[in-house]
Each structure stands twice: as structure tokens, then as C-alpha cells.
Structure 1
Amino acid sequence: MKIRQALDDPDMPTEQVARIISTEPVLSAQVLMLSNSAMFNRSTKKIEELRVAVTLLGFSVVRNVAISVGMKQLKDQQDNTSKSEQMEGLWTRSMRVAALSYVIARNRTKLSADKAMVAGLLHDIGKFYILSRAHQYQGLFTSDQALWELIDQWHADIGAAILESWEVSDDIREAVMDRKRTDLPLHTRPTLTDVVAAADFLDAGFVKQSLQDIDWTNVPGALKNLGLNEESAIRLMTETRQEMAQILRVIA
């Protein structure tokens, strides 16, 4: 909570942010590691101070790292092998959707790409929460199918409630709630919901089959709002492959 509040305050001194980060060993290590990566540190001088690392990365990147660390800690709490594998799958997909959301926002909209990445990373937070608690109520679920039916029914509302309690911005909460809507309005100014919905759709299509095999005559309105068709979507994913790989290294 403290780190989120600090990073949400643009007037917060970097030294104070660094002190708060220093109380979280895993986050501290991740911030320092990232600040010394080739993606951010073009010099040969190793960064060893959190204050310098935060200055180099900026609050937006540190916020993304903090969210990533928090979600990974939630994932790693699972002691049930089956549930652990399911959490790992959710985490991997969340990272891909986050990377896709970033490149879609940066290349197809005037929206903040950093905010889009956060929205993509959090788009399945409701599923994370339910799955992380499922082992406490194993008697309620006769099978994994029953569990996932409940997750599919409730994850969006639970995710939105979690994000509200975290005081996450309205547009991110709306993206989590509405990305699966089939009646998203058509408009010429794409929203964050459009970005996450498109990333979610393209990732699912890319994993299950090649993008060429998708029925492009029946795609979510979000893709139309973003001006993405088969040709432009394939070109976007091809041209940003290296960028997405770098983003995945940032949040992995």
C-alpha cells in the first residue's frame, strides 16, 4: 500500500520512494536488477543504490515492477501442484497480454502505454484471487471444471472490487470489467478497454492457432476501434516482437 501511494504521487521525493522500496527485499532486488539491464542501463557503471535505480527507471516502470512482484508472490503462495500449475499459466498469459497491451497502446492510440501494460497485467487479477483461495474451500468443488465455471462467472466482478480497494484508476477497472463485452461501442477514439480487449483476443488467437486462421469477419469491436484487421494485426505483432520480448523481461 505504501509503495503504491508513493508512486501515485508525482511530487514524492525519489529518496522517499527508495526508502519504501528498501523495506521490500524482493522488490528492491528486482528494481536494481532491472536498472542494470541492457534495456535501461546503457553505461558500464553498475547501479547499486535504489535512489539511482528509481531515478533511472522512473515511477511508471517501478510501479509496473511492484505490481508484477505482488502478483508473482500471490502465484508462488500455492502449495497445491495442480493449482500451482494453473497459477503459472495465468501468470504467463497475464504477462503476454500486458506486453501486447503496451505495444497496441503505443502504436495504435494516444493512450499511456505504461498504463495499458498495468491494465493488461491485472486483467485476470480476479482469477488469481479466486484460485489462490480455492485450496481453503476444496470441499465446495467436485472438479476443476466446477472451479473454473465459478472463476469464469465471478472473476471480473471480484477483480474490479480488488482494484477498487487498491484505488486503481477507473479506466483500468473498466478495462478489467468490460474487456469481454461483445457490445463495446464503435468509436474513433480507442479506450483502454479496447486495448486490453484486443490484446486478450489476439493473445488467445495466437496461442490457440495462427492469426491467419482467425475468422476476421467476426472479431471484437475493440479491434475495429483500433483499426486492426488481419494484415495490420499480423504486421504489428511481427514488428514489435523484439519490443514485447523486452517488456516480458521487465515484468517476468
Structure 2
Amino acid sequence: MDRLAAFQHIAAQASRGELTFPSNVSASIKLQQALNDPDCHSEAAVKLIQADPLLSARAVAIANSVAYNRSGNEITNVRSAVQRLGVRTLQSLVAALIVRQIGSQITDPGLRAKAAQLWQHTAHVAALAQVIARRVTRVDPDTALFAGIVHEVAGFYMLSQAGAYPGIMDGEPEDWVEHGEVAIGRGVFAKLVIPEAVQASVEALWHGMRALPPETLGDTLLLANDLAPIPSPLHERPGATTPQAARTIDFVVGEGTLHDIMAESADEVKSLFAVLML
């Protein structure tokens, strides 16, 4: 099977919902669904997070990050972390866990290296999107963080399947974009029950239609993608700027500029990125 036929085969399977996930992803999806329940109150969320030691540690860490701990009061337990973060930020932490679990079944060293770089890129985009949403576009920052975390989930799924198709990720990256990313992405989003607004923002990223100054969640994600210091190892987005050109992006925001805001928010971005990399 040649590369294009392999992309189309995996994409067709994804479109039909025939997805292959590691066994631990199912448990994480159930946790995500429980947190999505409108009747899930903070005490229930505490019990759900406490049941997973890794999530417990990450919840406390992100609650103590610069982005969420502006008072400087450090907390040391899950209950306080849930109260500070809220359920929606916890959903982002679970989404980050799911994305990394999807990539955990990769054994090929070359593919693992791509997955590691893809997660670094993802963590940068998510951290930048949260700050850009709060300081620039004024869209919901929790939704922006979540969108940043899941925006490359199609790539992680593709890498997790690539071992069965030797050489599929070699060659021109445009082949993956044209013949696999959208169909696979939509299939994975459906399986993970990703909200429609988040799906729409990621599709805006796929098509590369960013406005300056940015206004929407999709614009937020595109700007964060352009500003991320680590690029995706899979492809360059249509219309994406080079790393050098990204540093020159600037525009007026209120009484300041994008450059001013990003300089002021550097510690927040760094702190969020560090937590997501745990």
C-alpha cells in the first residue's frame, strides 16, 4: 500500500469511528465525560481527580502556576486546586492526558521523536492560546487552553498508527494534510466528544485563515500556532509564518501592543508550558 492509499485507508477508518486507542484512553474518556456533566459539582470533581495520582499532581501544579496563582498563595491539595481552577480547566488537564496517552503506544524511535516534538509544540500553543484569549481576543481562556491542547490530536493519532505503515510519514508533509488530517481529526474529535466550538477553531487552524488583529477562538489558535517557538514536526500550516517572521507580528491592543502583552505574560506562558510538559 503506497503512502496516499495508507492515509486514505486510516482516514476512512476514522470517519467510520473505527479508531484504535491504548486501553487507558477509555478510562480517561470516561473521566472527561464525567467532568462534562453539568451536574458534576466541585466535590465530585475532587474525588474524580484524586483517583488518578498523575492528574492530582498536575492539578496542584497548574493551580500553583503563575497563570492561576496571581495571589502567590501556594496550595498543596487537590480540593484547593479544584476550587481555584474550576471544572473546565480540569477538563483541559484530562484532555492533555488523553492526547499523550494516544501517543504512548508509539515504539519506533523516529516516530517517538516526532511525537515528543509535537507535544512540545502543542504545549506551547495551548499556553500561548490561554494568554492570548485572556489578554488580546477576550474569548474564553479555558476554552482556548483546551483547544490548544487538542489541536494536534489528529497528528498524534496518525503517529500512533504509522508503525503499521512503514514510510508513511516520509515525503511531502502536504500529503498528510491533504489526504489524512481533516478526516482523521474529525473522527478523533467525534470519539472524544470535543465541543463544536473547539472543533470549529481547530478547523480554522487547518485552513489557515487568521485575521489581524485576531477576534475569534480560531484566530486565537492560529496566532498561538504562529508564535509557538517549537514548530509541528508534521507540516507547516497553510499561510503560517516562519519563526523569524512570527517574532515581527505586532498590533495595537487597547493602550498597548501584542509585543508588550507577550513580554508581560512571558512568565505565565512559561509556567503553563512547564505544567503541561510534566
TM range (shorter): 0.7 to 0.9
The CA RMSD over aligned residues, in Å, is 3.2
Partner of 1:200: 225
Identity level (%): 25
Letter in 2 for 1:209: Q
Asked whether 1:209 is paired with 2:244, we answer yes
Q: Is 1:107 aligned with 2:131?
A: no
Kindly report which structure 2 residues correspond to 1:165-244, keeping only aligned pairs within 5 A, or say none. Answer: 165-182=191-208, 190-203=215-228, 208-209=243-244, 211=246, 232-244=257-269
TM-score normalized by structure 1?
0.77
1:42 Cα offset (Å): 4.5
1:151 maps to a residue whose letter is W
- Matched residues in 2 for 1:43 and 1:196: separation? 30
Q: For residues 2 and 159 of structure 1, what CA distance do their matches in structure 2 show? A: 20
Q: Would the aligned equivalents of 2:227 and 2:243 in 1 still touch at CA under 8 Å?
A: no
Q: Do residues 245 (structure 1) and 270 (structure 2) align?
A: yes
Aligned residue pairs, count: 234
Confirm whether residue 16 of structure 1 aligns to residue 44 of structure 2. yes
Structure 2 residues not aligned, in runs of 5+: 1-28, 232-239
Q: Do the aligned partners of 2:102 and 2:160 also contact (CA within 8 Å) in 1? A: yes
2:132 aligned counterpart, secondary structure: helix
Cα separation, 1, equivalents of 2:86 and 2:42:
9
TM-aligned CA deviation for residue 84 of structure 1: 0.6
Higher relative contact order (CA 8 A, sep 6+): 2
> Could you tell me how far apart the structure 2 residues matched to 1:46 and 1:94 are?
27
Structure 1 or 2: more helix by fraction? 1
1:131-152 Cα offsets, whole Å, 9 max, x none, are: 11101222xx366226x44432
Alpha carbons of structure 1 residues 33 and 245: separation in structure 2 relative to 1, 3 Å: closer
Which residue is equivalent to 1:219?
none
TM-fit CA distance, 1:241: 0.9
How many angstroms apart in 2 are the aligned matches of 1:181 and 1:44?
41
Deviations 1:70-101 (A, max 9, x none): 22223333221111110011000011111111
Q: Secondary structure at the match of 2:165?
A: helix
Q: Give the residue type in structure 2 aligned to 1:104.
A: I
> Which among 79, 86, 90 is matched to residue 114 of structure 2?
86
